Structure 1
Amino acid sequence: MTDYYANPSTMTLLYSLKKHLALPKTSWQICLLAAIGGVASAGLIILFTASIDFIQQWYLPQKEDYTSLDAVSRFDLPIIGALLILLFAKLTGYKYLRTGIPFVLHRLKVAHGVIPLRNTLNQFVGSVLALASGFSVGREGPAVHLGAACSSFIGSFLKLPHNAIRTLCACGIAAGISASFNTPLAAVIFVMEVIMREYKVHVFIPVMIASIVGSLITSHTYGPAHKFEYFNKITIVVGDYPLLIMLGILLGILAFAFNRYLTLIIKHSSQFHIISRFLFAALITGALGAAVPHAMGTDLTAIAFAIDGNVHYQLLLGLLLAKLIMTIVALGLGVPGGIIGPILSIGAIGGVSAAAIANHFFLQDTLITDYALMGMAGFMAATLNAPLAALIAVVELSNQLEIIIPAMIVITTASLTSGQFFNNRSILVMQLEIQGLIYRHPPIEKSLLRIGAMGIMQENFRLLDPEHLSNNTNFLNVSTNNELLIVKESSPSPSFTLLQPIQAALNDTPPIIKQQKLIPLSYQATLAEAYALLKDTRDGGVYLYDGAEDNIIGVLMFVQIRRYLIEGKAN
């Protein structure tokens, strides 16, 4: 072979790494990169959390204790936070305000998980300010965004194949969620069920490693305990199952209402400027926060108040309504932050409300914390359409395996009610569709995304001078050992033509040669990108280049892609 990589000195370790990672296989190399990405993602999440705590210590005796503020201060705080978010957004550019899980799903489709720096900066600073100023948003959305950005940056910096960058993006998301909640298994399941929407071993293993790393780092920093330490041992018995079924039905209806009104606000508010939207969200948050302080902030304040045990069901219903409105308005109007934290809070309050009503009217002796957990599981499953992630999350948050059967009853009932009777879907998918963001992969494309073109390219080729296009007499003598023969032309621009003999020379008749112009494609591309260039003609091929387009390193033919789709292998 007489191409660019024929010189052994150019066969660098990095090139070998890239070629290896282009294949959909589990390897120690991708696992090592996943661990490095997990460390970076967890470190960024710790900085994110510390920034929120640092700001809140200036005006709150305890973090998220908004009851210590007077009503006027609670009203003013979200407005101040919104103004600061808008000021930073103006410095970075308003068009970079798309953040959170839906944006990451969109970037996985259009950019293989690579997140722009300005969006990441807006996510970090905007979410810190939103969470510190009492908006009803969560930390897991920023954790997903920041983790994805951190790990995908490593892949982009090393210029790895796009399929490897997608895997690293998933690893960063798992590390971010695990670092935020200290729930490594739930983080893995969430990534596979909600983000990637498929279970593949070559992705599952590095995602698991990144999740473990994220959990270990935050456990070492903040201790091994979860932030939901107040859940007692589950006391639900078989006799409580009818009430669990009723709770699941109510949660399914509530999830439908939540998803519907959130998407309606997103749809109809898009015509207003971001300044008007943020200030209106701040006014609603401030007004409700002044009246119901426990509804402000993330999930901790509201859940701790709801499971106190001495709260009347009417007050719980008021807290539930306030939390619903504050969350829908904040997220619907674009305030940066996550959705899972508020979902867990709303579900917990809904479960506690159902238990309080049952205790009041039916004289039951229902343990409040049991139904808080059931509400969290059912509402999360119905709103995100992620039943397995919801189940694993509540098991890890409660540290109790006894919760599995009761939680499954609530989850299945809530999911069936929401999906079967109201055609409810994942709120993340609904957000993407209402905002016009592409996120779906056709089945063929989804299969081809798993493998990089570099992994199966043909490297055994010989570059010929343009004179071979006109002089075919000794054409067959040029090729040896099944080499591909490629003519390189430099004028007016670099181009490569593949020469394929169709019929050998007979007597004085020259050989018949088929000429196919090769399409340039970056070596980082996946088979999906190559297929997109060749699907119309269903013939020919692409040449892969490194850096400049005249630096050819391999050739990929359409027949290889077709063989991969039919047989599962390309060579």
Structure 2
Amino acid sequence: MPKTELLKKSLRKQLAAPTTTLAICLLGLLGGIAAALIIVFFRLAIEQGAYVVGNVSHWQQPLPTFSRFLIPIIAVVLIFVLFTVARSRRVRMGLPYVIHRMKQHYGMLPWRSTLNQFFGGIIALVAGFSVGREGPAVHLGAAASTWVGYHVETPKNAIRTLAACGIAAAIAASFNTPIAAMVLVMEVVLREYKVHIFIPVMLSAVAGSLITEQIFGLAPELAMLHATELPNTQLAWVVLLGVVLGVSGVVFKRLMMDVMDTVKDMNLITRLMFAGFITALLAVIIPTSMGPGLTAIQQVLQHQGELSILFTLLFAKLIASAIALGMGVPGGLIGAVFGIGAVVAALFTGVVNQLPLSQLLEFDTFILLGMAGILAASIHAPMAALLAIVELSRSVEIVIPAMLVIVPAYLISSQLFRSKSIFISQLDLQDLPYQIAPVAVALQKTGVEHVMETEFKLLLEPTQNELLDVLENSSNQTVVVMNVDEDNQPSYRLVSYDIGAGDSPSLSYMPITGIKVTSTLAEVWDELSGARRGAVYVFDQKQSEPCGIVTWEIVRRALQRELS
């Protein structure tokens, strides 16, 4: 066997184990680099596209009225043409879709949806739709990293880890927030904390952050905001802001989900044209409605204390974001809610500062708190919200106030209004399953190559006496019989003593099916759980050449270890 084949098999066997190995760390790093480079191209394309449409100020200065109306219309036509050329039967992208694919398909994403996400996300963000770039980033990062794993025949349990690595690297490369990227993966996408996944995810997040620093510089996304330490006398206002943000998050979610529910039976071109036309009208009437959420923060800073303008901006961003996201424009939700949270906090600060206070509320700090609170209320990821704001602002002074604003915002949303995470609500509305049985969750972590029996006995059409001799001398080895049918196709049966046959030596034959060596124990469970006995054979390149056996007893023991 060539050395390259031996090396590949050794690597694959390491990756099949549910532990932190050098192999998964190196492969996760490679996948993270691939994801980060894709995001770099994505960001550069958005920047160049902005100059092409004449948006040199990144939506801080309004374009001519005709351009503001025409650009969203042209954009949705281009997006429709893109989806049509890609022959996509269903347009499903972004973070909710990635959560679904992580649970049901180990994070592997169809190439058509990935192309749609890359080019569609660029078009939507260049055209000024009120969406964020983190949705496309998550999708593209997972696709790039799993592509690396797929092409080296990585086991599916490791593919899932690579998808998590790609997502973390992509978020870190988008916003230079490696810690928040790691926690977002664990808290929102995987919804579990496992050390053997956390270590390679951490490594890939660092890679993504370093790559983006080299190309885009060290400045954080919210460098224009300077947080200061709040006096204890203002902490009550922080808690009250959290209550307001919790209600605001629920209102935005309800608005967006109502839009999704209303248009879910419309065909694609109708939905996109509606989104483009409404966005275009808003852009003509309220120019500040254009652009992602982070551009709204710039507008908030320019109009501090101007309550009428801020109310108009809040209305515009609520409608523009709900319409774009609810009607299927490719883009992310987190960027949109950041902008809404900033405007809500600006209004809150402006209103409170008109009261006879001994010390005015600090504007920049409360804007940051508004972003943290509404993110926690919307996606139900309090730790990710906290760390995102700390990293985006590069300020540790914000930690205690951010905790105080996140807690009431989250509790108001989840407990008072019984609201689910907006991502989970999207999956429910789209009938995309995201929950699997705890047994499957446990067994998905282990590849069959890690536990399969390789020293089994394989016999070609033996006689019964030959079988009896082998069974007597097999030393507890599994015995498999291969038969060849009229079409020269092999079939395999597991052979054992029939314990119900009394004293006479009788044999029991059980047909067994084959699974690929990259499969996980969850797939073996699916095959054997009905009978609670038997086995499957494992093959590498050719289905007619078994390289291992996984019995029901092996699966049962692995499950006990994982759940203990």
2:441 is aligned with what amino acid? K
Q: Report whether the alignment pairs 1:514 with 2:508.
A: yes
CA distance in 2, matches of 1:284, 1:244: 35
| Secondary structure in structure 2 of the residue aligned to 1:489 | strand
Residues 498 and 516 of structure 1 are in contact (CA less than 8 Å); yes or no, is this contact kept in structure 2? yes
State the partner residue of 1:71. Answer: 65
The CA deviation at 1:291 is: 2.2
Q: Do the aligned partners of 1:468 and 1:475 also contact (CA within 8 Å) in 2?
A: no
Once residues 522 and 473 of structure 1 are traced to their aligned partners in structure 2, the CA distance between those partners, rounded to angstroms, is 30
TM-superposition CA deviations, 1:182-222 (whole Å, max 9, x none): 00000000000000000001000000000000000010111
Partner SS state of residue 536, structure 2: strand
Give TM-score scaled by structure 1 length: 0.94
Mapping of residues 76-225 of structure 1, within 5 Å: 76-225=70-219
Among 363, 366, 374, which residue is 2:369 paired with?
374
**Matched letter for residue 392 of structure 1:** L
More moved, 485-494 vs 367-376: 485-494
Alpha carbons of structure 1 residues 61 and 525: separation in structure 2 relative to 1, 3 Å: closer
Residue 3 of structure 1 corresponds to none
Instruction: Determine whether 1:322 maps to 2:329.
Output: no
Indicate which of 420, 423, 434 corresponds to 1:425.
Answer: 420
Q: Which amino acid aligns with 1:499?
A: V
CA contact (8 A) 1:96 1:122 kept: no
State the alpha-carbon separation in 1 of the partners of residues 17 and 462 from structure 2: 37
Name the structure 2 match of 1:283: 277
Cα 1:375–1:233 change in 2 (3 A) is closer
Of stretches 55-64 and 85-94 in structure 1, the one that deviates more from structure 2 is: 55-64
Deviation of residue 544 (structure 1)? 1.1
Instruction: Give TM-score, length-normalised by structure 2.
Output: 0.95
Alignment deviations for residues 483-526 of structure 1 (CA, whole Å, 9 cap, x no partner) = 322111121532211222357999xx863333222222121111
Matches for 1:352-371 after TM superposition, within 5 Å: 352-363=346-357, 365-371=360-366
Code of the aligned partner of 1:97 = V
- 1:555: which partner in 2? 549
How far residue 537 of structure 1 moved from its aligned partner, in angstroms, is 0.7
Partner in structure 2 of residue 407 of structure 1: 402
Could you tell me how far apart the structure 1 residues matched to 2:490 and 2:60 are?
A: 65
* DSSP 3-state at the match of 2:302: coil
State the distance in 2 between where 1:469 and 1:21 align.
Answer: 40
* Structure 2 equivalent of residue 387 of structure 1: 382
Amino acid aligned to 1:399:
R
Runs of 4+ in 1 over 6 A off after TM superposition: 7-11, 503-506
Equivalent positions of 1:336-347 (< 5 A) are: 336-347=330-341
Alpha-carbon RMSD across the aligned residues, in angstroms, is 2.1
- In the aligned structure 2, how far is the partner of 1:223 from the partner of 1:464? 64
Q: Give the secondary-structure state (helix, strand or coil) at the position aligned to 1:381.
A: helix
In 1, the alpha carbon distance for the partners of 2:431 and 2:366 equals 37
Alpha-carbon offset, residue 356 of structure 1: 0.7
Among 421, 428, 445, the residue aligned to 2:440: 445
Question: Could you say which residue in structure 2 is the equivalent of 1:501?
Answer: 497
Letter paired with 1:468: T
Change (3 A) 1:504 1:445: closer
CA distance in 1, matches of 2:115, 2:468: 62
Counterpart code for 2:70: D
Kept in 1: contact 2:303–2:310 (CA 8 A):
no
**1:98 counterpart SS class:** coil
**Alignment match of 1:566 (pick from 555, 560, 564):** 560
Secondary structure of 1:498 counterpart: strand
- 1:256 equivalenced with 2:256 (yes/no): no
Structure 2: gaps spanning 5 or more residues: none
Asked if structure 2 preserves the Cα contact closer than 8 Å seen for 1:520 and 1:543, the reply is yes
**CA shift for structure 1 position 568:** 3.6
**Is the contact made by 2:88 and 2:113 (CA closer than 8 Å) also made in structure 1?**
no
> What is the total number of aligned residue pairs between the two structures?
561
Indicate the residue corresponding to 1:4 in structure 2: none
> Which digits, 9 at most, give the CA deviation of each residue in 1:301-351, with x for residues without a partner?
210110235441121121011101100100000000111111111111111
Range 189-198 or range 446-455, more displaced: 446-455
Q: Aligned residue for 1:53?
A: 47
Tell me which moved more, 354-363 or 510-519: 510-519
Unaligned runs of 5+ in 1: 1-6
Asked whether the 8 Å contact 1:71–1:291 carries over to 2, the reply is no
Whole-Å Cα distance in 1 between the matches of residues 55 and 101 of structure 2? Answer: 40
Tell me the residue number matched to 2:221.
Answer: 227
Q: CA deviation at 1:473?
A: 4.9
Relative to structure 1, the CA distance from residue 514 to residue 80 in structure 2 (aligned partners, 3 Å threshold; closer, same or farther) is same
